[in-house]
Structure 1
Amino acid sequence: MFKFVILLSAVACALAAEVPQGMLPQLDGRIVGGTATTIGAFPWQISLQRSGFHSCGGSVYSANIIITAAHCLQGGVSTSVLKVRAGSTTWNAGGHLVSVAAYKNHEGYNPSTMVNDIAVIRLSSSLTFGPTIKAIEMATQAPVDGAAAAVSGWGTLQSGGFTLPTTLQFVEVEMVSQEVCSSSTYGYGSNVRPTMICAYSKGKDACQGDSGGPLVSGGKLVGV
């Protein structure tokens, strides 16, 4: 079963009252304390764009299907303002920019608890696979506690920041079991639901702009 990611960190990502056009308020975003990388290292990564601005991340599941977070598409956003950029290290240029034909949020998505925060997007035309565009296989079971994983995206680089990096970023994290995640060590308690998965990296955190992006462990997609 696919999992929604809770990223645990020693750094908090503070929300301000105003968010730039296109960028959604942080819910499960990604990169604080990250490192610049290239799309060749994460060829399944895409930028989901709304009205020409990077809004969320996502992953290539097949030539015409993208996996992202449901909250990136909640509120009945029109497909006419959505596009997907694939195959580019930068979110605002290069690669292939494709229109969105349709999308569907998980029927059980709950915006209050973030349960089943996952959605699929169908592209208007198929992507051409190559060194910078590849599908990623979905994991069939959760990684073990302490397993190495990575998250990638174009989210803000500092707590409370609103400036997106042009270049793709990534951070390495460790998987945390649900039992430990809900314990007093992290204090998430009952907020950790069966459809969620936890990961941790000291001094690195989630921020606006990367909701829906991939969490990858062992070469497989284990969460969004």
Structure 2
Amino acid sequence: MFIQWIFLIFSATLVTSKWIPERIAGGHSVSIKAVPWQASLLKNGISNCGAVIYSERVVITAAHCDDETATFSVRVGSTNPDFGGQVVKVLRILKHEDYGLYYEISHDIAVIKLQTSLRMGAGVRSIPLANSSPPPGSLVSVSGWGRTGKGKEYSDTLLETTVSIVDQNACREAHYGEITKDMICAAAPGRDSCKGDSGGPLVFNGTLVGIVSYGRICAHPNFPGVYANVAELKPWILNAIRRL
């Protein structure tokens, strides 16, 4: 009985202090105005992946988010992935030709052309592509609506967290060698992108440095999150946009 009372008192304390479990994993809620380049990629009308606004007619996502049997659209300007903001139909998706060629997650990037232009504003803005990757130890931010941890629910509000760039060799060792130069890794204790965040932005100093790609276990200390390396893939991105 004593233990039950302690549990009830502890629970009441959490409620009255408005305690909220850590999210994205290990993140916090943000307004779309804080990350206006964030988009939600809708598969048959349902939020499936994240995406990033490059221009009024082009967004970027992960190649593994594509499904040739589905109809896609993009929602922007909303903190919730399922309603609000603007929804624009996808005209064409172009995946990297070497996606999955070396490893299942290699060259995990795609560009998307929209049927109509986005209306740009406070919650809908493009983000420039990075020219170089930040050095190991650099603090970067990642956002999305994915799971809030292994086996946990997807978030219905936009979440963001801060992680650090991990040395390429250390990441390669952690992932059994399956890391190539078109990937960049980031991690922090208890913080990570997770399932459902794929295609979303990894940002450093206002530039796009990565696209959420892969993780063995969300926020596991031994497995850094893996992202498509935007600086390394920038020539392909720009060429693909011209071909859309």
Task: Please confirm whether the aligned pair reaches a TM-score higher than 0.5, indicating the same fold.
Answer: yes
Superposition map of 1:1-224 within 5 A: 31-74=24-67, 76-78=68-70, 81-110=71-100, 112-161=103-152, 163-183=153-173, 187-224=174-211
Which protein shows a greater Rg? 2
Q: 1:192 Cα shift?
A: 1.2
- Paired with 1:77 and 1:196, the residues of 2 have a C-alpha distance of 27
Give the whole-Å Cα distance in 2 for the aligned partners of 1:190 and 1:164: 30
Deviation sequence 1:82-128 (CA, Å, 0-9, x none) = 11000111111111000011111001111743110000010000011
The number of aligned residues is 188
User: Per-residue deviation at 1:176?
Assistant: 1.2
Structure 1: distance between partners of 2:51 and 2:95: 14
Mapped partners of 1:223, 1:207: distance in 2: 14
CA apart distance, 1:145: 1.1
The normalised TM-score by structure 2 is 0.74
Give the Cα–Cα distance (whole angstroms) in 2 for the partners of residues 113 and 52 of structure 1. Answer: 27
Give aligned-pair identity as a percent: 41
Amino acid corresponding to residue 209 of structure 1 in structure 2: G
Rounded to whole Å, the distance in 2 between the matches of 1:77 and 1:49 is 13
C-alpha deviation, 1:179, in angstroms:
2.2
Aligned residues: CA RMSD:
1.5
Aligned position for 1:26:
none
1-structure distance, mates of 2:172, 2:147 = 27
| Partner secondary structure for residue 71 of structure 1 | helix
- The residue type equivalent to 1:134 in the other structure is R
Q: Which secondary structure state, in structure 1, belongs to the residue aligned with residue 126 of structure 2? A: coil
Q: Is the 8 A contact 2:143 2:193 kept in 1?
A: no
The residue type equivalent to 1:128 in the other structure is R
Is 2:90–2:115's contact at 8 Å kept on the other side of the alignment? yes
Q: Name the SS of the counterpart of 2:54 in structure 1.
A: strand
Unpaired segments ≥5 residues, structure 2: 1-22, 212-244
Shift of 1:199: 0.4
Compare the two structures and name the one with the higher helix fraction: 2
Provide the TM-score with structure 1 as the length reference: 0.80
SS at match of 1:180: helix
Extract unaligned runs of 5+ from structure 1. Answer: 1-29
Instruction: Write the distance in 2 (CA, Å) between the matches of 1:215 and 1:69.
Output: 12
Structure with the bigger RCO (C-alpha within 8 Å, sep 6+) is 1
Distance 2:190 2:69 in 1: 34
SS in 2 for 1:62: coil
